[in-house]
Amino acid sequence: MDLSWMAWTWPTAIFFVVIALLLFGMGLWEFARPGGAPRVGILRFETTRGDRLFISLLGSAFINLAWLGLIGPNLWWALALCLVYAVLVFRYV
C-alpha cells in the first residue's frame, strides 16, 4: 500500500495518536461516569464533556492555522496556547 501521498512524519503520527487517545480516554470516562456532566456555561447552552472536547479541538485547529499564517512554522507557543484554550473551554463552556 503506497502511503507516500501524505507526509507521515513523527509529528503527524503523534498528532493522530493523541487524538485517538483523547477519544479513548473520553470513552472510558463516559463508561465510568455516564451522562457527560452536562452544564450551561458562558455559551448559554448545555454542553457535555464530548461537546467541550470537540469545541477545544476545533478551536485548537483554528489557533494553529492562524499561527501558521501570521507567525510562522514554529508551533510550540501555539501548542501552549491551545492547551490554555482547552483548559478554559473545559472550565467555562
pLDDT digit string, tens, across residues 16-60: 899 999 999 999 999 998 887 799 999 899 999 999 999 999 999
Give, in order, the Cα–Cα distances in Å from 32 to each of 18, 27, 82: 21, 9, 27
15 located within any domain: yes
Residue-number span of the structural domain to which 25 is assigned: 10-92
**18 occurs within a structural domain:** yes
Distance CA 93, CA 49 (A): 10
Q: Please give the pLDDT value at position 9.
A: 76
How many Å apart are CA 67 and CA 41, to the nearest integer? 27
**What does the alpha-carbon distance between residue 79 and residue 85 come to, in Å, rounded to a whole number?**
10
Q: How many domains does the chain have?
A: 1
- Domain membership of residue 43 (yes or no) is yes
Supply the mean pLDDT for the chain: 90
7: phi > 0 → left, psi -120 to 50 → alpha, else beta; which? beta
Domain assignment present for 5 = no
The model's pTM: 0.82
